[in-house]
């Protein structure tokens, strides 16, 4: 007979507290499961736009499935206010998101004394929020903020462990002209990102709409890759001459896949196609990303 053992779920936003309090006592007896802000399909189900979870972005991309929705206006709201579950019932609540920055973002880090310079850490996070999709230069950040490079790197690692932001590393086959080290940084939730820079203007009234959409697509790929257990490595590709593709998906001997994120339907990724002719490349826009 198998004994029935009690099952305990420990969840919350307090990532560091959970790890510190539970990890040692549950060693060998726990399974960690990541819960990100809502994936786009989860949001649609909660809003009643679709009735199941079958329309995952990576399903569509890898299996060639097609769906047809006119969701640009819904998407524009998500690009500004994000995908935290709370935003289902309060879809344009900037006050909630602004309070979230202070009540959640720094609470664990300060309580556990992992950050010594709160003002410096907040300024770093704001600067990173302004640079989504750009190559991150730690030396440049150090110079602008008056903080040493080691501290910059440690704080960014803490932000990543807190599920505030994530890094995307370059894809390279060690060709001389390919970027091989510098990472890009994106935010798990765009509502939190916009709260950090104190800008909730509509997409049409701001200059970072393309960056917001890029961040959205990449975070969707990350979430569905994890939830669907696809097992892809997620990278970007760029040469020193500036040729670039936003997402490279690779997995063992499977065909290389590239996603070019554009504001229009023009074909992109020509340099990547020429360099890796066997790769499958698609261009994703607001109009076709869910078709």
Mean per-residue pLDDT pooled into runs of 10, the chain (291 residues) = 52 54 57 83 78 59 49 88 92 90 75 85 96 96 96 94 94 87 96 97 95 96 92 95 94 88 75 91 85 62
pLDDT at 58: 57
Is the residue at 213 inside a domain? yes
Is the residue at 255 inside a domain? yes
Alpha-carbon distances of 252 from 138, 184, 223, rounded to whole Å: 31, 23, 20
pLDDT at 44: 80
Is the residue at 290 inside a domain? no
d(Cα 97, Cα 14) in Å, to the nearest integer?
17
Backbone angles phi, psi at 171, to 5 degrees: -95, 130
d(Cα 87, Cα 43) in Å, to the nearest integer?
9
Q: Which tokens is 183 given?
A: 């990472």
d(Cα 223, Cα 83) in Å, to the nearest integer?
12
Q: What angle do CA 240, 244, 247 make, to 5 degrees?
A: 130
Q: Which tokens is 273 given?
A: 């196609």
Name the nearest CA neighbour of 289 among 227, 212, 232, 234: 212
Is the residue at 121 inside a domain? yes
Is the residue at 85 inside a domain? yes
d(Cα 192, Cα 113) in Å, to the nearest integer?
22
d(Cα 133, Cα 236) in Å, to the nearest integer?
10
Q: Which domain holds residue 175?
A: 40-284
Is the residue at 28 inside a domain? no
| Tally of structural domains, the chain | 1
Alpha-carbon distances of 51 from 44, 46, 62, 63, 238, rounded to whole Å: 8, 9, 22, 20, 39
């Amino acid at each position: 007979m198998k004994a029935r053992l009690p099952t305990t779920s420990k969840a919350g936003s307090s990532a560091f507290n959970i790890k510190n309090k539970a990890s040692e006592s549950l060693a060998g007896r726990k399974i960690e499961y990541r819960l990100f802000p809502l994936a786009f399909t989860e949001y649609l189900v909660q809003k009643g736009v679709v009735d199941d979870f079958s329309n995952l972005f990576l399903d569509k991309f890898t299996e060639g499935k097609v769906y047809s929705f006119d969701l640009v206006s819904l998407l524009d709201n998500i690009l500004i206010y994000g995908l935290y579950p709370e935003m289902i019932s309060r879809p344009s609540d900037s006050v909630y998101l602004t309070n979230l920055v202070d009540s959640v973002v720094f609470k664990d880090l300060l309580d556990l004394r992992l950050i010594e310079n709160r003002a410096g850490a907040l300024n770093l996070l704001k600067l990173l929020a302004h640079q989504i999709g750009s190559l991150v230069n730690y030396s440049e950040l150090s110079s602008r903020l008056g903080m040493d490079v080691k501290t910059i790197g440690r704080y960014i690692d803490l932000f990543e462990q807190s599920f505030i932001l994530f890094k995307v590393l370059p894809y390279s086959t060690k060709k001389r002209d390919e970027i091989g080290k510098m990472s890009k940084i994106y935010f798990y939730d765009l509502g939190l990102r916009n709260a950090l820079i104190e800008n909730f203007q509509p997409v049409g009234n701001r200059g970072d709409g393309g960056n917001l959409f890029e961040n959205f697509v990449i975070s969707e790929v990350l979430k569905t890759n994890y939830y669907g257990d696809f097992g892809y490595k997620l990278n970007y590709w760029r040469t020193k001459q500036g040729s670039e593709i936003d997402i490279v998906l690779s997995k063992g001997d499977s065909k290389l896949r590239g996603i070019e994120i554009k504001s229009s339907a023009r074909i992109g990724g020509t340099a990547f196609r020429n360099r890796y002719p066997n790769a499958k490349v698609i261009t994703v826009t607001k109009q076709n990303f869910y078709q």
